[in-house]
Amino acid sequence: MSRCALVRGAMSASSAMARLLLFLCAASGLLLAAVAAIPPPEEAARMARYVLHSCDWGALATLSTQEGLRGRPFANIFSLSDGPPGPCGGSGVPYLYLTDMEISVQDLEVNSNASLTVSLAQTPYCRKHKYDPQNPLCAHIIFVGSIVKVNDSEADIAKKALFTRHPEMESWPKDHNWFFAKFNITNIWVLDYFGGLKIVTPEEYYSVKP
């Protein structure tokens, strides 16, 4: 049984024990994070999970509703998280913390369809290997789907995922009516090697062990 599976099992046992294990897991995560191996390129679904979990933010494209830009693509940066950092947290679900005061979120209220891109160029990996961001070896993933608000029980999971990686979020102005949302993935493209894009289905994506 993996360390992560142990921790998940312990969560249902005594909570003190679970907290201790979670601490150990987080501590070992700090060590493992440095050496966690990138999946081989033939495992495209695992690659997609790996890249998303390695990234704290992404570029989100909406269809603009702004005067003068209506219907045109509009890409913007958003903080995201699929779970606490380290090897134990990744759910594969990109969670976001949004307010309808935000320009792209106003687009989503009219049309929730969107595209999200994340890249290992956002991590030390590509710099270390001297891969240009446009080089496929600097793996990047393109998700297409829609943004949906999460219900109250999923909001607890989203909050933990986001606030552990983006502690500043807790102090964002309360009167901006922040809410938790997720990217509802319908299509996935993986660019991680030469020879063209690979298509991964959401079913494959969510069923692999990252």
- Of the candidates 15, 66, 99, 186, which one interacts with ligand NAG according to CB under 6 A? 186
Which value, to the nearest 10 degrees, does the dihedral of the CA atoms of residues 186, 201, 59, 95 take? 70
Answer for which of 146, 178, 179, 202 binds ligand NAG (CB under 6 A) is 146
Place of tokens 């142990």: 6
Which residues, 98 to 137, sit near ligand NAG by CB under 6 A? 111, 113
When the beta carbons of 62 and 122 are compared against ligand NAG, the nearer one is 62
Residue 4: φ, ψ to 5°: -65, -40
Nearer to ligand NAG, 78 or 183 (CB): 183
Q: Is 154 in the site for ligand NAG (CB under 6 A)?
A: yes
By CB under 6 A, is residue 156 in contact with ligand NAG?
Answer: no
Our CB check for ligand NAG shows the closer of 55 and 147 to be 147
- Residues of the chain by 3-state class (helix, strand, coil), percent to 5: 40, 25, 35
CA 141/CA 189 separation, integer angstroms? 6
CB of 206 to ligand NAG, least distance (A): 12
Looking at the Cβ atoms of 43 and 154, the one nearer to ligand NAG is: 154
| CA atoms of 63 and 65, how far apart (whole Å) | 7
77 binds ligand NAG (CB under 6 A): no
Q: Does the protein bind ligand NAG through residue 187 (CB under 6 A)? A: no
Tokens linked to 181:
């949302």
36: exposed, middle or buried (Cβ count in 10 Å: 0-12, 13-18, 19+)? middle
Q: What is the CA radius of gyration of the chain?
A: 18
The residues binding ligand NAG (CB under 6 A) are: 111, 113, 146, 148, 151, 153-154, 184, 186
